[in-house]
């Protein structure tokens, strides 16, 4: 009886896993090997590729300043967006965790920008940032400042895109709110009994209990924002002076606009190691500030 079941189990299990395994092989493993192989060629898609060893990498590190600009732009945008996004969403979640009126409605409103296609929000925000008639410059004038060129100014382009990204991170708010609602009331009451104030509750109960949620939000936002593409493609074209030249946009530009598949694959491979190293670093440092219940 049991053996018949387990033999049937094995066959069914492999059968059900066929699509996922084909995907794993053809959409992940082979392409990863492929990207490494292509990075050692000068493939342009038109002529047969030639083996050129590590020339693409040598070029990226020596001649091609684009690479270093793109690393700087990606790090600036990703960490700017993640840190501001976490702070914003955590503050909004704390606010909505209070007994504010129409709480459900406000939650929907704060979540809504997350649903909007990034191309849509990029277009709307670029219109609000427009230098002559844009609404942001009107606010600047109302507050007594001069107009500025938000997206055409090397120093302001990234902060402008970061503000737009922060607006779109309503998913983080929802996760934080759920985490806050899971905090046992007894813990908070215990702090009150000991004469603690709101800050003590936040510092010694809320923050430690939420640390795994903060970590999850942090990690997923880092991975998402390192892959930023749409604003650079649709709005800034990587400019001004490469300040918003994200690595994925550079990969797209080299690969699909200039047909340098070898060069672009070398970039992809470096991007892979770059993301892997950052993820490992985040995991390694997370142990220091994480708190797990029951430890």
Residues from 200 through 239 that contact other proteins (CB under 8 A): 213, 216-217, 223, 226-227, 229-230, 233-234
Q: Provide φ and ψ at 51, rounded to 5°.
A: -75, 125
Q: Provide φ and ψ at 110, rounded to 5°.
A: -70, -25
**Residue 184 within binding range of other proteins, rule CB under 8 A:** no
Sole binder of other proteins in the list 182, 197, 241, 285 (CB under 8 A): 182
Q: How far apart are CA 59 and CA 45, in angstroms?
A: 20
**Residue pointed to by tokens 């970590």:** 215
Cβ atoms 65, 73 nearer than 8 A: no
At 221 the three-state DSSP class reads helix
By CB under 8 A, which span of 53-61, 76-84, 117-125, 201-209 interacts with other proteins? 117-125
**Residue 96 within binding range of other proteins, rule CB under 8 A:** yes
**Cα torsion 272, 68, 247, 50: sign:** negative
Sole binder of other proteins in the list 50, 51, 87, 119 (CB under 8 A): 119
Cβ atoms 40, 52 nearer than 8 A: yes
Residues from 247 through 276 that contact other proteins (CB under 8 A): 248, 251-252, 255-256, 261, 264-265, 268-269, 271-272, 275-276
Sole binder of other proteins in the list 80, 85, 113, 238 (CB under 8 A): 113
**Residue 138 within binding range of other proteins, rule CB under 8 A:** yes
Provide the minimum distance between the beta carbon of 197 and other proteins in the complex, in angstroms, as a whole number.
Answer: 13
**Residue 171 within binding range of other proteins, rule CB under 8 A:** yes
């Amino acid at each position: 009886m049991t053996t018949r079941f387990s033999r049937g189990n094995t066959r069914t299990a492999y059968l059900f896993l066929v699509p996922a395994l084909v995907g794993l092989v053809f959409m992940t493993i082979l392409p990863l090997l492929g990207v490494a192989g292509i990075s050692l060629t000068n493939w342009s898609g038109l002529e047969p590729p030639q083996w050129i060893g590590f020339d693409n990498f040598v070029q990226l590190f020596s001649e091609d300043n684009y690479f270093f600009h793109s690393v700087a732009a990606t790090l600036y945008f990703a960490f700017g967006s993640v840190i501001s996004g976490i702070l914003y969403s955590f503050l909004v979640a704390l606010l909505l965790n209070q007994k504010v009126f129409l709480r459900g409605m406000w939650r929907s409103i704060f979540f809504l920008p997350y649903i909007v296609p990034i191309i849509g929000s990029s277009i709307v925000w670029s219109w609000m940032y427009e230098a002559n008639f844009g609404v942001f410059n009107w606010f600047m004038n109302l507050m007594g400042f001069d107009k500025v060129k938000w997206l055409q100014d090397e120093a302001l382009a990234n902060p402008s895109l970061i503000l737009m990204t922060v607006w779109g991170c309503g998913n983080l708010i929802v996760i934080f709110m759920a985490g806050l609602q899971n905090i046992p009331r007894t813990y908070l009451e215990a702090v009150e009994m000991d004469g603690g104030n709101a800050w003590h509750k936040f510092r010694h109960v809320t923050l430690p209990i939420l640390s795994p949620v903060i970590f999850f939000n942090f990690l997923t936002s880092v991975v998402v924002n390192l892959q930023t593409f749409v604003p650079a493609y649709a709005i800034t074209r990587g400019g001004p002076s490469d300040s918003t030249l994200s690595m994925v946009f550079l990969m797209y530009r080299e690969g699909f606009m200039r047909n340098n598949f070898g060069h672009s694959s070398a970039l992809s491979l470096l991007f892979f190691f770059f993301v892997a190293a950052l993820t490992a670093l985040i995991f390694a440092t997370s142990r220091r500030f994480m708190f797990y219940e029951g430890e």
